[in-house]
Amino acid sequence: MSGREESANYGQLSERTESTGIFDEWTCVFVSFLDLVELLFINAFHSRKVSLQSIRIAVNRASLLLKTDHPFAMKKFYTDGKTILAEITRGNGSNLVDLIKQQYQISEIVLPSLYNCIDFRTYEVAQRYWPLGKERGIVIDPSRNFGKPILNELNVSINTISDLLQNGHSEDEISEWYEIPPKYIELTKEYELRMSA
């Protein structure tokens, strides 16, 4: 895989296909950073009891309305726990549109907590994701380290630290080699534990 292809993809998931005899074949599915952000929002909406069918309808309508393949990667969506609302800017103001009922909506809105963990750039499209929160210092940014998680202030790969820990190196060794305060090694372990859950 070329560096360009790797930088365009956040991660890799594998799913098993039919056995062909002696060797099993694997099909690789790559997930871009914007796909990852959309999956995070789908999970957030579903955890607030919005049905998967409603989410599917909302993403299709939002894609057409906003003219983008990744509508949920934009900072324009809210939920009241029953439906998904999109903030649509027209002329001098903006309105909330119920994507399920296809009507303008005014009611109590629940802001997705993910907005606190995602930085948005121009046109409110997701730019980077802070999986443990912005104050914790681990970031996933497609413009840094090929979109793999890093310690933001130190620019050190989480995978590097995790691999060293898994290969039996002590926290003191890693801390000395990379000039990392021990709190960042603990943060890396917390991140890995949370991601494996």
In a domain, 9, yes or no: no
β-bridge partners, 138: 151
Nearest to 10 by CA among 93, 73, 68, 90: 73
Contact 14, 28 (CB under 8 A): yes
pLDDT digits (tens, 9 = 90+) for 75-113: 888 887 788 888 877 666 677 888 888 777 554 555 566
Domain that holds residue 163: 134-196
Mean per-residue pLDDT of the chain: 80
DSSP state letters, 41-101: HHHHHHHTT--HHHHHHHHHHHHHHHT-S-GGGBS-EEE-SSSEEEEEEETTEEEEEETTT
Q: What are phi and psi of 59, to 5 degrees?
A: -65, -35
How many folded domains does the chain comprise? 2
In this prediction the pTM is 0.59
CB atoms inside a 10 Å sphere around CB 137: 17
Out of 127, 160, 186, a domain closes at 127
120 and 85, same domain (yes or no): yes
In a domain, 149, yes or no: yes
In a domain, 3, yes or no: no
pLDDT digits (tens, 9 = 90+) for 126-161: 889 999 988 889 999 999 998 899 999 999 999 999
Out of 102, 127, 152, a domain closes at 127
118 and 58, same domain (yes or no): yes
